[in-house]
Structure 1
Amino acid sequence: MKRLTALAAGAALLLAAGCGGSGPETTVNADGEELTKVTLTLNWYPYGEHAPFYYGKAEGIYEDHGIDLEIRAGQGSQKTVQATAAGQTDFGWADTPALLAGVSQGLDVKSVGVFLQTTPSSVQFFTEQGIESVADLKGRTIATTAGDALSATFPTFLAANGLSESDVTMQNTDAAGKMAAVMSGQTDALLGYATDQGPTMQEKAGKEVSYLRFADHGLNFYSNGLLTSQRMLDEHRDLVQRMVDATSEAWAAAEQDQDAAVQAMAGASEQLPSAQVLADQFASTLELLYTENTEGGRPGVNVEEDWRATIEVFHSAGVIETAEEPGAYWETDLSPKE
């Protein structure tokens, strides 16, 4: 019996070793060209921000780089980071603070380029609330989700504008419940992405939504970007470079053809917002692609200075205990190529 157990254990080890050494699957396109099958897991269910991926797939941009792309819905940046580190997806699209936190917890994952380099983090509310400045948040009730990056950085945002946490009341709810809290009047505002909840809330309620954007009030940091596992970097570096190049090209092309990019998302999800909301979300997203250090460059090109600033924000906010060098979180030599 012990021998059978030992053999079974040995077989399992050999199977695991075999799986670990196998390369990515391939397929053949209509022209007979071999493509590498690649999975990309998003940060959430598809919304306007994700249009470039669907456009790049529809227009054959990924195929031009030898990639057969499968796009999967996500369930939050934290889970996407974990799934990427575990090899359950080849690439992830996730928020940089979730990546920083994952690396600090020992996950073997790295960014290969942040594309949204201005944070969409914001306080969102119906315009009729009469909130015109950060000072107007005093005494207000704000819907938030405990433990997320928005909640962690909100005190820093308040402090940068002369307020403290005690000046507002935070109502904890899950991510899906924040819009309902504002629309029902339970809260005056919510913490969210200006590229996500605002356009949806505006359409559903039929009332104009306004924003206090963190980046407009003294606090900017990296947001969503492309990431992969260290194993992918070690074993399939050429594929990673091709994915980075294709994604940068897809974003640049989608920016020039926004209507077609949004149309490419048709049927992407049962939860897909309306075409108008998708268009509004994507237009807002395109305002976030660069910092002063990267303006005029290709989408997804990062610089060390911006990484250092982002790391310091989340170190100060307590999201990470130790501020490592940028290279601990970002693969510095995989910038998009022309």
Structure 2
Amino acid sequence: MLKKLLAITAVVGVLVSPAAAQEDFKFALNWFPVGDHAAYWVALDKGYYSDAGLNVTLENSKGSGDSIAKVDTGAADAGLADSAVVIASLARGTTIKVVGMVFDTTPLNIFSSADNPIKTPKDLEGKSIGAPPGDSQRQVWPAFAKANGIDSSKVTWVNVEPAAKIAALAEKRVDAVADYTTGLPLYEKPMGEGNVVMMPWADNGFDMYSMSIIASEKTMTERPEALKKFLEASYKGWQDVMADPEAAMVIFKKRVPEIDEKLLGANMAMGLQLMQTDRYKENGIGWIEKEKMCSSVDTVNTYMGLPKEVSCDDVFTTEYLTKIDMPAN
């Protein structure tokens, strides 16, 4: 009888062990769901996270400052944030690091309307820019302004909630909005094609690292395997998005019904362009190049007036990355 009970117990243990092994993992997005986030929903839907033993929760945030705060305080295990804001936060005492990249070319950008266009950095003087306080570009603004000779005292920042940026520009409540280049389709929907002007920061001497995946010292120290598995599963999601963008949007719409899949499909396509680089083709999706990261750190140290200088080695690590190749097509 004892042997029989032990055998039954063993079988039950085998049956329940996969579920029991599921480890909660909270990921703080930097925004409400947009095309830039499709890969994480794909990874969730296709079981990449669950296959890795992770029960992943995706949570919205109100910009990089917000997602950094969540990760640093332990409210999230990892998150999305602009690298420049991460660097600046380290000078103020956070215990986070960049553990993987998303866009290999910066999407930082200023949108304006065609009837009141902002085509050069100096055009921003005398204008108002809408963005929430935690927005990455608002955080990095001092560096961009100094690098381009902009008199910041002549620029007015207006607090605008993330979801209200588009309306604020379309309704002319602000002269410009700080938002990623990938957002162009979202702005053209209410304003019309050809009526939105972009001023990409990369075209104005500011192609530093931008959107990244971050983790706290606590996560890296206490849960290194979970972090490594999370990154691998996430980049497999990106691999699938690149291989079949249309299928990715079907999944995204299924998981987040309120999205406009046509609009976010165009939004996502612009993000994928920022990832089609030789660096990713050679080293895998999400790779961090030390030279570019250290150059980004130098820019922030030079222009952002940090309370102390940040060391490049304190900003990032590649030890949790598993090489996930770009798709063949």
Into which bin does the TM-score normalised by the smaller protein fall?
0.7 to 0.9
> What's the CA shift string for 1:179-228, capped at 9, x where partnerless?
333212233322222223x3222112334323110012211122222222
| 1:237 and 2:224 correspond | yes
1:174-323 equivalence runs, <5 A: 174-176=160-162, 177-196=164-183, 198-208=184-194, 209-266=196-253, 268-269=255-256, 272-289=258-275, 293-294=279-280, 296-318=282-304, 320-323=306-309
**1:249 and 1:323 mapped to 2: Cα distance?**
35
Relative to structure 1, the CA distance from residue 138 to residue 325 in structure 2 (aligned partners, 3 Å threshold; closer, same or farther) is: closer
**1:194 and 1:226 mapped to 2: Cα distance?**
19
Unaligned runs of 5+ in 2: 1-14, 325-329
**1:131 and 1:318 mapped to 2: Cα distance?**
23
Aligned to 1:88: 75
**1:133 and 1:99 mapped to 2: Cα distance?**
26
Aligned to 1:78: 65
**Larger fraction in helix:** 2
Q: Percent identity?
A: 23
| Paired residues, number | 309
Unaligned runs of 5+ in 1: 1-27
| 1:44 and 2:31 correspond | yes
Relative to structure 1, the CA distance from residue 259 to residue 294 in structure 2 (aligned partners, 3 Å threshold; closer, same or farther) is: closer
> What's the CA shift string for 1:259-295, capped at 9, x where partnerless?
111222225557x441122112111111223666555
Relative to structure 1, the CA distance from residue 129 to residue 296 in structure 2 (aligned partners, 3 Å threshold; closer, same or farther) is: farther
Find the residue that maps to 1:82 and give its secondary structure.
helix
Aligned to 1:337: 323
**1:188 and 1:50 mapped to 2: Cα distance?**
28
Relative to structure 1, the CA distance from residue 130 to residue 103 in structure 2 (aligned partners, 3 Å threshold; closer, same or farther) is: closer
1:58-137 equivalence runs, <5 A: 58-129=45-116, 131-134=118-121, 137=124
> How far off is 1:82 after superposition?
1.8
> How far off is 1:102 after superposition?
2.9
Question: 2:62·2:134 contact (CA, 8 Å) conserved in 1?
Answer: no
What code does the residue aligned with 2:67 have? T
> How far off is 1:163 after superposition?
4.9
Question: 1:155·1:164 contact (CA, 8 Å) conserved in 2?
Answer: no
Question: 1:29·1:35 contact (CA, 8 Å) conserved in 2?
Answer: no
Question: 1:101·1:319 contact (CA, 8 Å) conserved in 2?
Answer: no
> How far off is 1:296 after superposition?
3.7
What code does the residue aligned with 1:192 have? D
Comparing 244-253 and 170-179, the one that deviates more: 170-179
**1:71 and 1:146 mapped to 2: Cα distance?**
22
**1:119 and 1:260 mapped to 2: Cα distance?**
26
Question: 1:119·1:220 contact (CA, 8 Å) conserved in 2?
Answer: yes
Relative to structure 1, the CA distance from residue 137 to residue 108 in structure 2 (aligned partners, 3 Å threshold; closer, same or farther) is: closer
**1:62 and 1:214 mapped to 2: Cα distance?**
34
Relative to structure 1, the CA distance from residue 232 to residue 212 in structure 2 (aligned partners, 3 Å threshold; closer, same or farther) is: same
Find the residue that maps to 2:267 and give its secondary structure.
helix
Comparing 44-53 and 154-163, the one that deviates more: 154-163
The TM-score, its normalising length taken from structure 1, stands at 0.79
Comparing 286-295 and 255-264, the one that deviates more: 286-295
**1:63 and 1:289 mapped to 2: Cα distance?**
26
Superposition RMSD in Å = 3.1
Comparing 61-70 and 249-258, the one that deviates more: 61-70
What code does the residue aligned with 2:252 have? M
Question: 2:22·2:55 contact (CA, 8 Å) conserved in 1?
Answer: yes
Find the residue that maps to 2:235 and give its secondary structure.
helix
> What's the CA shift string for 1:12-54, capped at 9, x where partnerless?
xxxxxxxxxxxxxxxx899879433322121111111000001
Relative to structure 1, the CA distance from residue 234 to residue 179 in structure 2 (aligned partners, 3 Å threshold; closer, same or farther) is: same
Aligned to 2:5: none
What code does the residue aligned with 2:312 have? P
> What's the CA shift string for 1:98-153, capped at 9, x where partnerless?
32233222222222112223221111123344555556556554434557442354
What code does the residue aligned with 2:323 have? K
Aligned to 1:10: none
**1:161 and 1:250 mapped to 2: Cα distance?**
37
Find the residue that maps to 2:22 and give its secondary structure.
strand
**1:235 and 1:147 mapped to 2: Cα distance?**
28
